[in-house]
Copies of this chain bind each other. A is one copy, B any other.
Amino acid sequence: MRICTRRITGPSAWVGADFQPSDWVVTLEPAERDELLQALRGLPADRPPAQVTAADFPLPRLAPKLAELVRELEFGRGFAVLRGVPIDLPPAEQYLLYWGIVAHMGTAVTQNARGELISHVTDYGKGDLSDNAVRIYETSAVVPFHTDSSDITGLLCLRDAREGGASVLASSTTIHNRLLEEHRELLGVYYVGFVYDRRTEEESGEAPYYRNPVYGYFGDVLSCRYYIRHYIESAVRKSRIPLTDMERLALDLFEEIAHTERNQVSMELRPGDLQFVNNNVVVHSRTAFRDSPGHRRDLLRIWFNTPHARKMPEGFARFRFGMPLIAENE
């Protein structure tokens, strides 16, 4: 266990000002779209998405492109958008096609205690985070910079918002470089990490919160896990351990660097855009959005790990291999 005290260079240490959208958008060609639809039609009837394998969903033309995408996510800038994914399909087929693409890229993990492998990021109308059982992706609020629990997050846009809902990314490697340069004495605070609320998703007998480090440096590879800040604040009421000023300072600085205009990439996802983000090196956020009657912003989210993903010690990314299922209360 040690702290990275070298400036990291290479493609993961980007600033947004380095890029044009054409750098990160991979547009599907008509033949590739056809190939996807053909693979979809070739699936046995009533096959549940979670049982679809890459072999069930042959993509002779697209598969090498997806393999290249995985390499870019893992060893490059850590994000990309696949544009033009067919979505004009019944919901069951949207799921299958999405799953078929991801089956070529890695292994999906569960996203919540209900065991969902594909979830809708949409305004569920459940209220806001003052209800401890609500998770932020179920609201229309600003989602602050964070990572998810898997190596990769996929977000397939089915419907964009009437207003707002921009996706904003920043390199957590660049943030680390800045912290090292300007606030080296604070680095350890991130490596110790913060205590997060389980949002009522804990298993019976388990603490309703858990600690996770923000940064880890294993085998000379830097990885980040920066979970939703609201969950740190709400954990305080359960753990009865107040945040210190020094911890708030560390959170403020991380977000301030992520919010620096020059560092960010901001994008509006259009229907058919499938955004991939490598949580180990990129933090993502979303601006607040507004729906209009009959038009609800809707993204299909999947969390997956890649076959040659980096090694991390157990406990660094607590739910990297999926959230455990809990029995529903009767």
Contacts and interface: CB of A to CB of B under 8 A. Distances in A.
A67 interface: no
A236 to B, nearest CB: 11
B192 A246 contact: yes
Given A1-B246, A191-B244, A192-B244, 20 more contacts: A1-B249, A3-B246, A5-B185, A180-B185, A184-B184, A184-B185, A185-B185, A185-B188, A188-B189, A189-B191, A192-B192, A192-B247, A195-B241, A209-B240, A209-B241, A210-B241, A211-B242, A211-B244, A239-B239, A239-B241
Contacts of A209: 240-241
Contacts of A192: 189, 192, 244, 246-247
23 contacts: A1-B246, A1-B249, A3-B186, A3-B246, A5-B185, A184-B185, A185-B185, A185-B188, A188-B188, A188-B250, A189-B189, A189-B191, A189-B192, A191-B246, A192-B192, A192-B244, A192-B246, A192-B247, A195-B241, A209-B240, A210-B241, A213-B244, A239-B239
Contacts of A184: 184-185
Interface of A: 1, 3, 5, 180, 184-189, 191-193, 195, 207, 209-211, 213, 239-242, 244-247, 249-250
A267 B225 CA distance: 48
A12 B270 CA distance: 63
Contacts of A180: 185
Contacts of A241: 195, 207, 209-211, 239, 241
Contacts of A1: 244-246, 249
Contacts of A3: 185-186, 246
Contacts of A193: 244
A18 B318 CA distance: 48
Contact of A188 (B187, B240, B242): B187
Nearest to A195: B241
Contacts of A250: 188
| Of listed A1, A189, A211, residue having the most chain B CB within 10 A | A189
A187 B189 CA distance: 8
A180 B185 CA distance: 8
Contacts of A186: 3, 187-188
A293 B245 CA distance: 51
A1 B191 CA distance: 20
A188 B184 CA distance: 9
A190 to B, nearest CB: 8
A259 to B, nearest CB: 21
